[in-house]
Structure 1
Amino acid sequence: MKPHIVCLMMTSVDGRVLTEGWAIDAPSDIFESAHDELKGDAWLVGRVTMEEDFDAGGEWERGLATGPIERTNWYAKPDAGQFAIALDHAGKLNWKRNEIDGEHFVAILAEDVPDDYLAFLRKQGVSYVFGGAGEIDFAKVMDTLARDLGIKRLLLEGGGGVNGSVLNAGLVDEIVQFVLPLTDGRPDAPSLFDIRPDWRGSRKLTLLSCEADEKGIVKLHYRVENR
């Protein structure tokens, strides 16, 4: 059991996704319109994206745990209906609130996060699910999100690490990619899918549609043929 997963991203022609320093501004209105049109129950990003774009930076409050906290999933608002989810393996995000635009925040954690961090999330009213003791088991996480929170359609929106991990697990169903008319070329810049170290092979795609606008932005829509 898992949500239907659509990876929605905006890239340079060479597949890079870090917009800082680009020759043109990334048109956020086009991305936001596509996000709305896809009608997801939830969206998922990595820790860095959440920290930089959604006011989750700085140091989180310590000293809140009064004892050991059981490593079970915890939900502040399981019936929220709309969710904003962040992969935060080590528990670093300093959540300032528990929702954005009515979408309830959920953190995906590894089981070795400190008790203090779990107490902090509970104080802030941020839900959390565990993805395993070591590496995150994305199949398990997606099953949990579908069963416990009723998420049927999830938009996967970067960065490259979380995109690559979910793709590598064979869980991405579609890709909607906006290719902007510019190059990047930085060898250390994150790409649409970054998979390391356990690469499980490439994925065959079936093109569903291809559109170009007057500014040279190309919208590609693929179905992922998971084996």
Structure 2
Amino acid sequence: MLDSREALNTKPPENTNRGPESGHLIDFSGIEGPSARQSNALTRDNETQITSASMTEFLAAQKAQMDSFLQHFGEQAETHRSALACMIDQFVGIASSLGSNVAHWLGHPAAHQGAQLYEELNRIYKRAIDAEGQCYRLKTDHQTLEKQLAEAVKERDGLRKLVDIANWTCAAKLSDDVIRGQWKKLDYNIRVMVRALTKCQIKRPKDDVTKARFESIVTLWSELLGSDDYKELLITAYLWAIVVEEIFYN
């Protein structure tokens, strides 16, 4: 699996060579003729030019990944909205219960039982404090996800502009620095998403595809996923495994 530094140094492949004896993703060994010699020369000089068709294909793959990324964040935001609504309803119910209990005890003939009333009020007050704290945390997480979603939308719009430029000129060429910049942005988005995911409750995956992907990363993934020291690293590796599959194999 490629880590983020290898991904940043990788050019968009046209003919991928995954052989152990090759140090590059592009294999020019089987191409014959003057055009092949010229392509090899350009590669040695680090001045590889990307055709409009390959650039469009690469940007389309990036767009597909970004759409998936946005969909995932949308689902996370919707989950937080639902949880926030439940916590607000719970808080309202606690407040209503508090009012009902106070009214009940004030009108009860045994109102002199102040100790029991105090204990009941104290218990309800603690529940209200806990619910308010959870509500605040959910609001904070929701705001964080909204900010990340806005950044992801901005990134997607930037990719769309690149695609439009490539289609309009029919000869768009991007330098290696621009491609590395896109990989850096992807790496940043993955790290931000991992930090948000580690704050959520972690559930063990049940489907075979997810288990197999974790197994390909490390055999003891089930234990590491529950460890605060390793789960961020494990989730990061899992997301990069998805990136590699989607971009280089699919």
TM-score of the pair, normalised by structure 2? 0.20
Structure with the larger helix share: 2
TM-score of the pair, normalised by structure 1? 0.21
Larger radius of gyration: 2
Structure with the larger strand share: 1
